[in-house]
Amino acid sequence: MEIKVMHQIMEWNEDVSDQVKATLAQHQICMINVMGSPGAGKTSLIVALIKALRSEYRIGVIEGDIAGQIDAETIDALGIPVVQLDTDGACHIEAESVRHMLPMFSLEDLDVLIVENIGNLVCPAEFNIGEAFRVALLSVPEGDDKVHKYPLMFATSDAVVMHKYDMLPYFEFDDGRVEADARGVNPGVTVFRVSSRTGEGMDGLLAYLRARIDAVRAEQAGTKEENP
């Protein structure tokens, strides 16, 4: 016999992602999902963003790692609330993990929550975690073919950051190709060329983030007034 089912396979994650979104909206917290390969410089960029934005926003961080807590200690040293999410081998963060993490923060004291996803260009792209928007990093030493090889990561991101841009003279890296490939899979994407070490390109990225964060939080405030 045939049994009709019609059941969404990702529903378990989507439902929880919506719950996380609702909790964050209540507290007007803009959550940013930062994704990229191991070694793309996610932690370094997050540290640079915290230093630049901490006078304007109250920032918290969820550090996703398969094992260890080196990155969390780096953020903790800045005096920023950070929770380590040790996935114990899993290659991505799911919405459920984020839902468990939220009570560990004092949510009324946060404006922005940055999630450093697991270093991986494939799996994290499939899972919404309740984020307001996604930033994908691709560092110059990784090579300019990565958007072509891992399209979903870049297709589902709002911004692509070509990171370690100060290394450009030392590598065969065609940044025009990366930008064209990224627009090919994601016409609306915003592309940045950034070195968090030298500060090159940070101004543009910061202006973009400020505008996005403010827009997200204004929308959350609006929704809250409609449904108090």
Which residues bind to other proteins, rule: CB under 8 A? 1-12, 90-92, 94, 122-123, 125-127, 148, 151-152, 155, 181, 183-188
- Per-residue 3-state assignment (H helix, E strand, C coil) for 165-199: HHHHHHCCCCHHHHHHHHHHHCCCCEEEECCCCCC
What minimum distance in Å lies between the beta carbon of 38 and other proteins?
14
What minimum distance in Å lies between the beta carbon of 66 and other proteins?
10
Q: Are 36 and 118 within 8 A, CB to CB?
A: no
C-beta closer to other proteins: residue 123 or 206: 123
C-beta closer to other proteins: residue 174 or 200: 174
- Residue 193 is encoded by which pair of tokens? 């060329």
What minimum distance in Å lies between the beta carbon of 120 and other proteins?
9
C-beta closer to other proteins: residue 104 or 185: 185
C-beta closer to other proteins: residue 11 or 225: 11
What minimum distance in Å lies between the beta carbon of 102 and other proteins?
20
Annotate 115-127 with DSSP letters as a single string: EE--S-SSGGGG-
As a whole number of angstroms, the distance between CA 151 and CA 149 comes to 6
C-beta closer to other proteins: residue 96 or 214: 96
Q: How far is C-alpha 211 from the geometric centre of its chain's CA atoms?
A: 16
What minimum distance in Å lies between the beta carbon of 123 and other proteins?
4
Tell me which residue of 65, 80, 13 sits closest to 34, measured CA to CA: 65
